[in-house]
Amino acid sequence: MRQDIYIEDLKSFVGKAVTLRGWLYTKRSSGKIQFLELRDGTGICQCVVMKNQVDEATFAAYDKLTQESAFAATGVVQEAAKAPGGYELFTKSIEIISIAQEYPISPKEHGVEFLMGNRHLWLRSSRQHAIQKVRHEVVHAIRDFFDERGFNLLDAPILTPNAAEGTSTLFELDYFDEGKAYLTQSGQLYGEAGAMALGKVYVFGPTFRAEKSKTRRHLTEFWMVEPEVAFMDLEGDMQLAEEFIEYIVQRVLKNRQNELKVLERDVSKLERIKAPFPKLHYDEAAQILKEYWSSMNEDEKKERFASGHKEFIYGDDFGAPDEAVISGKFEKPVMVHHYPAAVKALYMKRDPKEPDKALAMDMLAPEGYGEIIGGSQREDDYETLLGRIKEHNLPVDAFEWYLDLRKYGSVPHAGFGLGVERTVAWICGIEHVRETIPFPRTISRIWP
RNA sequence: UCCUGAGUAGCUCAGUUGGUUAGAGCAUCUGACUGUUAAUCAGAGGGUCGUAGGUUCAAGUCCUACCUCAGGAGCCA
């Protein structure tokens, strides 16, 4: 008796009659023998049809089935060394479910603009399929990591009344009679409230930045996970971050080998992602940059300037090219801490031993993928925080609830934010974050 | 916002110092083929050269403006 199964389960059905249902990925024929590659979302299976083994209608189906047409194939599963995946279906009959019109995405190469305009179809391609599988694994690993450690998920609002950090531009909208509202650019402030209530929390959801950034690392809508822990200091924050990254990478390595193979990822570079990671004080990172520039002659410097890389001055924040220089020195992610307070957000606590430095850290991914984590120990003193809000000319009343957290049982606490898309791009080894999210939103694209 | 580059067939591209009817591969259609792997082989159809002006006997090619897209900077995850 036949049985409906998924392609990922083929190996348990060798010698048995089964039915597969899906879409035609591609087909080949040499006259009396036909090969149809069936895609069902769990994998791809080659269906072999021989003229003298099937009825006329089944043999004629080959001509009718266009790329991405839906059909069901019934036959016997057999091992086949030459078949993609190692198994094929020796097909006895084919049932056509629907015939696809001429499909725009051919097996040949395409340009970015075309593929992005057909993102809803592009997702069916094996490479995009593999990326989404890895993304799913990363998200699952994130949840498991925190859940196993007793963190409570805290869903922060997406519609917010005010700017959390002030600097970034926000998407604005009208909110009934209440005036303007904004799409959240970080759940952190709410995470801090949650940490005071639940001890250990993580906020996980989409965030929005109306920055006009046009690089391979930016989206206007992206997902961020933000743990926040009461009684944790910067040291603990960094340790949590490195254990977290190790956990995610090792989970993908364990469960998504096939997908990494499709993506042609050099997994040896991922296998070495084990804590502890190198940690550099800002001054040490600055020294690397100083040596980098001083080792160059004038012509080499001019070349760097022409590509947009500005010479680093002590006290500056690091630009993307600076981060590439620093992370290029290491095979593991590197954490830089104790940034100058002047270039960091107002809610970050300063180090009492180095009052000009913030208890902040960034984690830079290897292979030039840039910043994947930004975190800090938060300012927990009421007067200090209030003073900083005033210094930045921000409306104190908007921060009233946030200041309350310092009025009622304030404790040291810390947390960080991890960009999901940058992390997935790095693990997959792909060029651009836009391929890591099903429907990317960039400065020039809101469709499909 | 700034810098750089690109828009030619459904898709990816070629198109020389401006010169007759703008080419190729893939996709589509027709035919051949019993183990193909982006199958192969033979043939056919398919074009407002991003838009608007301008120079010229003549513009895909030169000039101007604009539009769209891509890469980078800044900002950030």
A215 touches strand B (CB under 7 A): yes
pTM to 2 decimals? Answer: 0.94
| Structure confidence at residue A167 (pLDDT) | 46
pLDDT band at A43 (very low <50, low <70, confident <90, very high): very high
| Structure confidence at residue A44 (pLDDT) | 92
| Structure confidence at residue A2 (pLDDT) | 67
As for the ipTM of the complex, it is: 0.87
Quick one: average pLDDT of A409-416? 97
Residue A36 has pLDDT above 50, yes or no: yes
Residue A357, φ and ψ in degrees, nearest 5: -110, 145
A54-71: pLDDT as tens digits? 999 999 999 999 999 999
A215-272: pLDDT as tens digits? 889 999 999 999 999 999 999 999 999 999 999 999 999 999 999 999 999 999 999 9
Quick one: average pLDDT of A4-26? 94
The structure tokens 């078949």 sit at: A83
Return positions of chain B under 7 A from a protein CB. Answer: 1-2, 10-13, 25-30, 32-40, 68-77
A432 touches strand B (CB under 7 A): yes
A174 touches strand B (CB under 7 A): no
Which two three-digit tokens encode residue A373?
Answer: 């984590």
Residue-averaged pLDDT of chain A: 92
Per the structure, the residues numbered 347 to 376 in protein chain A that have their CB within 7 angstroms of any atom of strand B are 362, 370-374
Neighbours of A322 (CB within 10 A): 21
Spatial strand order of the sheet with A180-183 comes to A159-160, A180-183, A172-174
Reading phi first (left if > 0) and then psi (alpha if -120 to 50, else beta), residue A31 is in left
A31 touches strand B (CB under 7 A): yes
Residue A204 has pLDDT above 90, yes or no: yes
Name the protein residue, with chain letter, whose CA is nearest the C1' of B25: A108
The closest nt to A343, taking CA to C1', is B75
Q: Per mean pLDDT, which range of A182-191, A209-218, A347-356 is the poorest?
A: A209-218
pLDDT band at A47 (very low <50, low <70, confident <90, very high): very high
The closest nt to A209, taking CA to C1', is B76
Neighbours of A246 (CB within 10 A): 18
A89-123: pLDDT as tens digits? 999 999 999 988 888 888 777 888 889 888 999 99
Which two three-digit tokens encode residue A91?
Answer: 């097909």
Q: What is the DSSP string of A337-348?
A: E--BGGGS-TTB
What single-letter amino acid sits at A319? Answer: G
Please, where are the H alpha helices in A178-266? Answer: 188-198, 234-255, 257-262
A140-174: pLDDT as tens digits? 999 999 999 999 999 999 999 875 555 457 888 88
What does the alpha-carbon distance between residue A213 and residue A433 come to, in Å, rounded to a whole number? 13
Is the peptide bond between A157 and the residue preceding it cis, with omega within 30 degrees of 0?
no
| Structure confidence at residue A302 (pLDDT) | 82
Residue A1 has pLDDT above 80, yes or no: no
A315-374: pLDDT as tens digits? 999 999 999 999 999 999 999 999 999 999 889 999 999 999 999 999 999 998 999 999
A378-397: pLDDT as tens digits? 999 999 999 998 988 888 88
| Structure confidence at residue A117 (pLDDT) | 87
Per the structure, the residues numbered 74 to 93 in protein chain A that have their CB within 7 angstroms of any atom of strand B are 80, 82-84, 88, 90
What does the alpha-carbon distance between residue A165 and residue A169 come to, in Å, rounded to a whole number? 10
Q: Per mean pLDDT, which range of A14-28, A207-221, A272-286, A355-369 is the poorest?
A: A207-221
Helix (H, G, I), strand (E, B) or coil at A75: strand
